[in-house]
Structure 1
Amino acid sequence: MMRLALRLLALSFAALTGTPALAQAVANDEADIAAREQEAKAKLSKLRADIDRVLSLQSALQEELKQAQSDLREADEAVQKQSAAQRHLQADAQAQQAALQNLESRRAASAAGLQAQREDLAQMLRSAFRLGQHQQLRLLLSQDRLSAASRVLEYHRYVQRDQLARVRKLMDELHALAELTEATRVQNDQVTQAMQAAEVGLQALAQQRAERESLLEELRSRQRDHEVRLKNLRHDEQALQTLLETLRDVFADIPEQLQAEQSMAARRGRLPMPAAGPVLSSFGAGLPDGRRSEGWLIGTAAGAPVKAIAHGRVAFAEWMNGYGLLLILDHGDGYLSLYAHNDALLREPGDWVEAGDPIAEAGSSGGQSRPALYFELRRNGQPVDPRQWLRR
């Protein structure tokens, strides 16, 4: 930056004094500086390509992150629902198993009771057979024991009927238990199959969630890379601020070739527009990286003339990271105007210009997606709203 200031001072002094030796030295120095600038521009071209890629990918990456976070939320909720369903199925399976065990116990008890009743009935039938029909006839013909025999026969019939009824009841109960047991087994098999299917589904959902978590982490890693790039861009912005502070009134101690008719402050609100076109982004508007615009972005055609807003001298005219082909005019009294994203610069450092003079051709250098002029007006290094100064 000191080299730039010395160069400008030497040019001005040579022009005013007309000293040949000094002019030749300045010319040699200019050739050396031009070679260095060409080398720097070659190195910066790769950085410009990287910046273009970061700017174009940043918005898409944000959308991918939002979608990945939404997908991960859906996966988490699906796993939660599937886990709840799995727990319910496990509870149902446990209940079915307990019911099946209870039915098995009841069936075993009923089978044992039926076996006992069958044995009692068989014993009774054997006893009756041993008595025989003749024994029953003798009991009937015995007058003195007729009443007792009648009661005995009636008792035998009652016991037989009761035993048969109990056997039928037990057999009916066993049949019902068998049907219920079979139905319970079928239901238990269905619950088991549902549990197996749910487990497979849960594993698939868990795998899907793991994949989405991996994708989200990858996107976050890429976002961190972009944040580093944006940090570098902010560093470039700070470098521009430092440049502006260095260039502020760099020509203050050099006699002006022409005196401005009026000071900048006196022409507030009456300065001409630097380019024809609509204002796409105003002072203070939000930028994609979270910062606020410190100037105007004016939509214009590629190659359209960019004009000086007031009398001044070119303090800077070359490519700069984040701004493309940039030209800065020093208007004195701490006022600087900046013209960025040009496709061509028509003036060189040290040139004097008047309001309305063409100084550049509008374009899209520095990573712009469309032709536009970025314009800033600063006083003492601080940006001011162009709306308060320009006549539209």
Structure 2
Amino acid sequence: MDSSQNFWFNGLNKLIKFLLFGIVIFAKSVFAESGDSSATVQQLQQLEVRIQELKAQMQNTRTEYGQLQRLLQNSEEDIGETAEGLEKLQKELSDKRNELKGLENRQKEQLSELTQQQQILAQQIRAIYMMGRQDYLKMWLNQQDLSTVGRVLGYYNYFNQARIQQIKTINTTLQRIESLKQEIQEETTELDQLIATQSRKRKQYELSYSERQTVLTQLATLLEDQDKELKQLEEDKLHLKSLLGTLEDALKEVPQPQGRQILLAKLKGQLPYPVRGKVLKRFGEALIGKLRWQGVLIGAEPGSKVQAIASGRVAFAEWFLTFGLLVIIDHGEGYMSLYAHNQSLYTKTGNWVEAGETIASVGKSGGRETPALYFEIRRQGIPVDPTQWLRR
């Protein structure tokens, strides 16, 4: 191995570390950046932007968390007030029912007394009638004093009138009891309705409280996740700053092979597709949340040949995380191409490959359910629309 190759592999090892770090960033919702210092600076800037965005999001989450806590407090107070009001209504209803029961008992007593007084009055009337006939008969037969007979009949009449007045009083009392019963029954009906309304309110408040408690728990989890992400981003930022100090020198040590200078910029719109198949996902389409596809996903038969779109140095050829078996080719001048989810790799890190050379076969590594090739082109670390570089 000559000195230039030693220089290449020493620099390449540092480059791979950078590429791997970039892929980890992709797993955190940011795609891998290229291996030059300007891309690293740009990645640092992107990290800083993401950190500031995350801090703003965390502040918003904390604000929302605080607002929700106050709403929970209001819900608890509403539930407490509703429970207190419900208890008062139930006590009032119980008192009214007891009062109604007392009136019903009193009504029974009055009805019993009325029946008794009516029976006594009937007996007295019959007695007067019978006595009156006998006294008149005796008076004519015995020639008794008419004044004595009249006085006796007057006494009976007095008692009868008193009895009749008592019966009237009982009837008046019964009417008043019936009226009170009607009022109390109306009040108990109204109280039943109020209790039903209050119970519904209480259930609504409890449901609202439960829903807010669920959201509060979710916000607490979100805050925890955001805090973890922020810490990781801060670590990533420190790592990149450290990497930036050595990356420039390391890349300067990587020479291009003699006679293999590439001008990929001049091949825009002329490059072949890396595999034949149907484009399933296009550059810029929604991926997850705010994330968008930064390459294209091409559906193809498993085992189909994956070919390099242009010549270059293989910067990475291994299995890695959600990319599965992955190949990254550095084409020079800040251009790189990425081929992921392969079934097999036919090249190794450090190899020089020519345009059209088979570098892998289509698969579904990295957790895909169906075979496809994920393909990406980057310029100065920035993803570009691959279809603008490929032949139509």
Q: Determine the C-alpha separation between the residues in 2 that align with 1:117 and 1:381.
A: 111
Give the corresponding residue for 1:163.
Answer: 163
Give the corresponding residue for 1:359.
Answer: 359
TM-score by length of 1: 0.53
Per-residue deviation at 1:304? 1.0
Q: Determine the C-alpha separation between the residues in 2 that align with 1:306 and 1:236.
A: 36
Q: Does 2:17 correspond to 1:13? A: no
Give the corresponding residue for 1:338.
Answer: 338
> Relative to structure 1, is the Cα distance of residues 248 and 99 closer, same or farther in structure 2, using a 3 angstrom cutoff?
farther
Q: What amino acid maps onto 1:271 in structure 2?
A: L
Residues 324-347 of structure 1, C-alpha deviations (whole Å, 9 max, x = no match): 111111111100001111121111
Give the corresponding residue for 2:150.
Answer: 149
Alignment of 1:244-323 (within 5 A): 250=251, 253-259=254-260, 263-288=263-288, 290-323=290-323
Per-residue deviation at 1:348? 1.6
Q: Determine the C-alpha separation between the residues in 2 that align with 1:307 and 1:157.
A: 131
Per-residue deviation at 1:284? 2.4
Q: What amino acid maps onto 1:97 in structure 2?
A: N
> Relative to structure 1, is the Cα distance of residues 267 and 299 closer, same or farther in structure 2, using a 3 angstrom cutoff?
same
Per-residue deviation at 1:293? 2.1
8 Å CA contact 1:305–1:360 kept in 2: the answer is yes
Q: Determine the C-alpha separation between the residues in 2 that align with 1:236 and 1:310.
A: 36
8 Å CA contact 1:300–1:371 kept in 2: the answer is yes
8 Å CA contact 1:11–1:350 kept in 2: the answer is no
Give the corresponding residue for 2:101.
Answer: 100
Per-residue deviation at 1:366? 1.5
> Relative to structure 1, is the Cα distance of residues 105 and 145 closer, same or farther in structure 2, using a 3 angstrom cutoff?
closer
Residues 228-255 of structure 1, C-alpha deviations (whole Å, 9 max, x = no match): 999999999999x999996999488524
Residues 170-218 of structure 1, C-alpha deviations (whole Å, 9 max, x = no match): 59998xx89x99xx99xx9xx99xx9xxx9xx99xx9x99999999999
Q: What stretches of structure 2 of length at least 5 have no aligned partner?
A: 14-23, 29-78
Q: Matched residue of 1:100: which SS?
A: helix
Q: Determine the C-alpha separation between the residues in 1 that align with 2:280 and 2:235.
A: 23
TM-score by length of 2: 0.53
Residues 58-89 of structure 1, C-alpha deviations (whole Å, 9 max, x = no match): xxxxxxxxxxxxxxxxxxxxx9xxx9xx9899
Instruction: Quote the RMSD (CA, aligned, Å).
Output: 6.4
Q: Determine the C-alpha separation between the residues in 2 that align with 1:253 and 1:155.
A: 142
Structure 1 stretch displaced more, 330-339 or 353-362? 353-362
> Relative to structure 1, is the Cα distance of residues 368 and 220 closer, same or farther in structure 2, using a 3 angstrom cutoff?
farther
Q: What amino acid maps onto 1:273 in structure 2?
A: Y
8 Å CA contact 2:128–2:153 kept in 1: the answer is no
Q: What stretches of structure 1 of length at least 5 have no aligned partner?
A: 1-9, 15-21, 34-46, 52-78
Aligned length: 307
Higher normalized contact order (CA 8 Å, seq sep 6+, divided by chain length)? 2
Q: Matched residue of 2:347: which SS?
A: coil
Q: Percent identity among equivalent residues?
A: 32
Q: Determine the C-alpha separation between the residues in 2 that align with 1:229 and 1:371.
A: 34
